[in-house]
Amino acid sequence: MRTNIELDDELVEAAFRYAPVKTKRELVQLALREFVEHHRRRDLRELRGKGGIAGEYEHKALRERGRSG
């Protein structure tokens, strides 16, 4: 998608110090990828305690049983 935007020059310069990129386009794409990844991880954290593995599940016991069988 092509677009024209105004960027804060000081913010762009600061970002270039941390990012392994050479162009503003690469910088914006990196920032967008990291933004999306951050929010996906946050969404996963919100699932904590909402099901999943039962409290009585004993992974160590199952591992030991697998070795003897």
pTM for the model stands at: 0.60
- Rounded to the nearest 5 degrees, what angle is found at the Cα of 38, between the Cα atoms of 32 and 43? 125
Which single residue is written with the structure tokens 């991880």?
Answer: 41
pLDDT at position 56 is 74
Q: Is 54 helix (H, G, I), strand (E, B) or coil?
A: coil
pLDDT digits (tens, 9 = 90+) for 14-68: 999 999 999 999 999 999 999 999 888 877 777 766 776 666 777 787 777 767 6
